[in-house]
């Protein structure tokens, strides 16, 4: 380990130090929410800044792109994803106090656990080695189990946590089993060596060896659990509904995008030569995931549970982007996937933040009835919720529209079975509009059963909501910069598309 | 077939299968946790076997390192899991996962 290694990995290091700093600050000034939040936000700002600086320095060739003997790498994808992770965690911390303080739950621990989870996601996006990838995955999901059960005296919260934990650890064990076989049969932990080894095997026109097939099957199953793809999604509705609402927003975004980062690193970078073998599985998973997610969401009366199923459907849409690349590497399906990830992160976080805001008054449930008459009671909140829901449907000029359009275009361009997948996705998007709009109807066209006074929301919450709303609109109106960054990040792992 | 990689992999596969069966069949949260530990240790066995029978010395070293890391991760996972089981036991007064069905009603 040298100083150079630390410099290359500095965003990750500062992330870990930030989490430690929050804990130390809370030890010195226990229960002081503003101090803890400020520490977290300053630390996250430094992490974000360092990510940009290190990314630029690596791109210019001033800093080595790998560290720790080649097991840690920084490329355009790392920088892109790390910035997204920092933004997601910062927003989640902003949404926390309004929900947790009335319930007497500590903010400092919440922020520290969130930042630890972020470092796990950052480790995944920077992994160049199977072991680092696995440690990053565990570092990302273990804090998630704790956060799901954060309201420990609430039976829903602990129930969600134990279901999330049991199925999460089960899937981690399955994933690790696959990892062991891929390592054992290719003889290397490094992604580039594995890819080289598999390339010679794939071009030699030999069939997949049974051991590698087992490994690939277990890895696919493990990852499908993590991204909540149907039929491995059973933990999702309960974990999302039971968790405290700001945590649900976090769970629906960061672990999912982190797991997609893992897919990009593992399936595209290391197992890319086997794409012909995993493509059919991804196509089937994408089809049933978006269809079932949307169909079940139609029947839900609890908005949190409905958004849980909707997030399953969104997983399916993102898988279409992956399939488009695997079908035809000349298509920028991965760039479309990354753009979708960013758009999804902000609109979904925003929608959950509105639910969290309404639940500031303890005892308010997340059922559809809570939204009745919201348009009259709290017009700004209702308009924001409408914006996020319209973006989730994919209506222009929001970010969600361009994200969906990008994925569908990539699928059509890739051709073959992907054309059918694109049609299924369009039909799904139309079906999804129904259950999202149902909330809008409740907000503006139903009267509340009993008149509730409007709530006073904290400045942090408004700040976070404003940021999420601004990003949702601005990414829809001026997407050029992000689109370029996304395709640059995609090219850093799949290489320049042949023109 | 003793002394070959296959023997160890079959043993590891059997242990993994027993662990998976325990996870799916048992309804006690603690038993499910133990089953997961069994699965992780089965993976560890196959990792160490791959390392020991590997083609070069680097693989043997890697095998040991990966196995140690997996042990550490399994310990962390068990800690979090037991904490969650204790928290839900205080709320529900039962370790049986079948009774944790408040949300599906």
Is A153 at the interface with chain B, CB within 8 A?
A: yes
Q: Are A348 and A392 in contact (CB under 8 A)?
A: yes
Examine the pLDDT at B104 and tell me if it is beyond 60: yes
Predicted confidence (pLDDT) at residue A241 exceeds the cutoff of 90:
yes
Q: How far is CA A484 from CA A116, A314, A332, A336, in A?
A: 30, 22, 11, 10
Name which of B57, B78, B84, B95 to mutate to probe chain A: the one with the most chain A Cβ atoms within 10 A of its Cβ.
Answer: B84
Region A32-44: mean pLDDT is 94
| CA–CA gap between residue A244 and residue A148 (Å, rounded) | 7
Q: Is B73 on the interface with A (CB under 8 A)?
A: yes
The reported pLDDT for the residue numbered A498 is: 45
| Tens digit of each residue's pLDDT (9 = 90 or more) over A264-300 | 999 999 998 888 889 999 999 999 999 999 999 999 9
Residues of A in contact with B80 (CB under 8 A): 142, 145-146, 165
Pairwise pLDDT comparison (A205 vs A235), residue with the higher score? A235
pLDDT tens for each residue of A357-385: 999 888 888 888 889 888 888 999 999 99
Q: Which of A447, A454, A301 has its CA nearest to residue A365?
A: A301
CB contact under 8 A, A162 and B39: no
Element of type H or E holding A366: none
> Using CB atoms within 10 A of its CB, is residue B26 exposed (0-12), middle (13-18) or buried (19+)?
middle
B39–A163 CB contact, under 8 Å: no
Could you read off the pLDDT of A74-110 as tens digits, one per residue?
Answer: 999 999 999 999 999 999 999 999 999 999 999 999 9
Q: How far is B2 from chain A (nearest CA, A)?
A: 19
For B66, which residue in chain A has the nearest alpha carbon?
A131
In a domain, B104, yes or no: no
Q: What is the mean pLDDT of chain B?
A: 91
Q: How far is B87 from chain A (nearest CA, A)?
A: 6
Q: Is A184's CB within 8 Å of B47's CB?
A: yes
Judge whether residue B18 has pLDDT over 90. Answer: yes
pTM of the model: 0.95
Which residue range is the domain that position B35 belongs to? Answer: 5-99
Contacts of A155 in chain B (CB under 8 A): 88, 91-92, 102
Element (H, E) at A394: none
Q: Please, which residues bridge with residue A375 across strands?
A: none
CA distance to partner chain B, nearest, from residue A56 (Å) = 32
Is the Cβ pair B50, A180 closer than 8 Å? yes
Instruction: Return the pLDDT at A230.
Output: 87
Q: What is the mean pLDDT of residues A420-447?
A: 93
Nearest residue of chain B to residue A172 (CA atoms) = B40
**Does B31 reside within a domain?**
yes
In the structure, what pLDDT confidence band is assigned to residue B2 with cuts at 50, 70 and 90?
Answer: low
Domains identified in chain B, total number? 1
DSSP 8-state assignment for residue A243: S
User: Residue A203's pLDDT band (boundaries 50, 70, 90)?
Assistant: low
Instruction: Give the pLDDT of residue A405.
Output: 95
Task: Give the Cα separation of B63 and A365 in Å (integer).
Answer: 50
Average pLDDT, chain A: 92
The residue that leads in pLDDT, A210 or A350, is: A350
Q: Is B76's Cβ below 8 Å from some Cβ in A?
A: yes
pLDDT the model gives residue A183: 93
We report the CATH number of the domain holding residue B95 as 1.10.287.3510
- % of chain A with per-residue pLDDT over 70: 97
From chain A, pick out residues whose CB is under 8 angstroms from the CB of B29.
162, 166
The pLDDT of residue A77 is 94
The burial class, CB within 10 Å (0-12 / 13-18 / 19+), for B16 is buried
What's the pLDDT band for A211 if we cut at 50, 70, 90? confident
Q: Measured between CA atoms, how close is B3 to chain A, in angstroms?
A: 17
pLDDT tens-digit readout, A106-141:
999 999 999 999 999 999 999 999 999 999 999 999
Are the C-beta atoms of A44 and A117 separated by less than 8 Å? Answer: no
Residues A252/A148, Cβ–Cβ less than 8 Å: no
> Is it the case that residue A495 has pLDDT exceeding 90?
no
pLDDT of residue A204: 59
Residue B55 binned pLDDT confidence (cut-offs 50, 70, 90)? confident
Predicted ipTM of the assembly = 0.96
Q: What is the mean pLDDT of residues A35-39?
A: 94
Instruction: Give A28's pLDDT tier (boundaries 50, 70, 90).
Output: very high
Confidence class for position A37, pLDDT limits 50, 70, 90:
very high
Looking at per-residue pLDDT, the higher value among B34 and A199 belongs to B34
Contact A180 B76 (CB under 8 A): no
**Residue B69 in domain:** yes
Alpha helices in A446-479 (DSSP H): 459-477
Q: Is the pLDDT of residue B1 over 70?
A: no
Query: How confident is the model over A5-17, as a mean pLDDT?
Result: 94
Which of A400, A310, A292, A313 has its CA nearest to residue A355?
A: A310
pLDDT at A354: 95
CB of A180 within 8 Å of a chain B CB? The answer is: yes
State residue A361's pLDDT score. 86
The pLDDT assigned to B3 comes to 74
Q: Give me the total of CB pairs closer than 8 Å, taking one residue from chain A and one from chain B.
A: 119
Minimum-distance CB partner of A162 among B55, B65, B100: B100
- Bond before A89 cis per omega within 30 degrees: no
| Pairing status of strand A66-67 against strand A72-73 | antiparallel
Predicted local distance difference test score (pLDDT) of residue A31: 84
**Band (A424; pLDDT cuts 50, 70, 90):** very high
């Amino acid at each position: 380990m040298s100083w150079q290694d630390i410099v290359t990995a500095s965003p990750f290091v500062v992330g870990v130090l930030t989490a430690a700093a929050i804990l130390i600050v809370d030890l010195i000034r226990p229960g002081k929410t503003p101090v803890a939040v400020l520490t977290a936000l300053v630390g996250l700002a430094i992490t974000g800044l360092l990510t940009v600086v290190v990314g630029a320095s690596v791109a210019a060739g001033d800093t080595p792109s790998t560290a720790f003997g080649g097991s840690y790498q920084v490329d355009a994808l790392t920088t892109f994803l790390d910035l997204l992770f920092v933004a997601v965690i910062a927003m989640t911390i902003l949404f926390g106090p309004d929900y947790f303080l009335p319930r007497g739950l500590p903010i400092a621990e919440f922020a520290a656990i969130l930042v630890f989870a972020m470092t796990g996601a950052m480790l995944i996006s920077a992994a160049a080695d199977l072991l680092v990838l696995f440690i990053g995955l565990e570092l990302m999901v273990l804090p998630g189990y704790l956060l799901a059960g954060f309201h420990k005296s609430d039976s829903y919260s602990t129930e969600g946590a134990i279901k999330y934990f049991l199925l999460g650890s089960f899937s981690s064990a399955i994933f690790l089993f696959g990892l062991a076989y891929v390592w054992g049969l290719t003889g290397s932990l490094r992604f580039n060596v594995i890819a080289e080894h598999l390339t010679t095997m794939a071009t030699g026109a030999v069939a997949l060896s049974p051991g590698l097939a087992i490994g690939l099957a277990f890895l696919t199953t493990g990852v499908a659990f993590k991204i909540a793809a149907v039929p491995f999604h059973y933990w999702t509705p309960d974990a999302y509904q039971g968790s405290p609402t700001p945590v649900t927003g976090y769970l629906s975004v960061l672990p999912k995008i982190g797991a997609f980062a893992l897919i990009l690193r593992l399936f595209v970078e290391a197992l890319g030569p086997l794409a012909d073998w995993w493509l059919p599985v991804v196509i089937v998973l994408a089809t049933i995931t978006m269809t079932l997610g949307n169909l079940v969401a139609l029947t839900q009366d609890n908005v949190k549970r409905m958004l849980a199923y909707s997030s399953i459907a969104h997983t399916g849409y993102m898988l279409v982007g992956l399939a488009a690349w695997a079908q035809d590497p000349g298509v920028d399906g991965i760039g479309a996937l990354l753009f979708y990830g960013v758009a999804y992160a902000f609109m979904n976080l925003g929608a959950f933040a509105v639910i969290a805001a309404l639940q500031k008054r303890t005892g308010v449930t997340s059922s559809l009835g809570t939204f009745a008459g919201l348009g009259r009671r709290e017009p700004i909140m209702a308009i924001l919720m409408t914006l996020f829901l319209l973006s989730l449907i994919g209506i222009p000029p929001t970010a969600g529209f361009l994200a969906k359009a990008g994925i569908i275009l990539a699928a059509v361009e890739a051709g073959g079975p992907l054309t059918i997948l694109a049609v299924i996705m369009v039909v799904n998007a139309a079906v999804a509009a129904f259950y999202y709009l149902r909330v809008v109807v409740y907000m503006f066209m139903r009267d509340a059963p009993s008149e509730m006074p409007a709530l006073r929301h904290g400045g942090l919450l408004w700040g976070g909501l404003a940021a999420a709303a601004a990003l949702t609109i601005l990414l829809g109106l001026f997407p050029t910069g992000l689109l370029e960054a996304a395709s640059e990040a995609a090219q850093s792992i799949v290489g320049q598309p042949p023109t | 077939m003793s002394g070959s990689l296959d023997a160890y992999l079959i043993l590891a596969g059997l242990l993994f299968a027993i662990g998976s069966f325990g996870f799916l069949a048992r309804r006690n949260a603690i038993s499910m946790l133990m089953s997961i530990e069994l699965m992780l240790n089965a993976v560890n066995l196959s990792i160490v076997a791959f390392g020991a029978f590997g083609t070069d010395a680097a693989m043997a070293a890697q095998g040991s390192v990966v196995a140690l890391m997996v042990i550490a991760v399994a310990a962390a996972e068990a800690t979090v899991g037991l904490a969650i089981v204790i928290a839900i036991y205080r709320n529900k007064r039962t370790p049986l996962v079948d009774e944790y069905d408040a949300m599906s009603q």
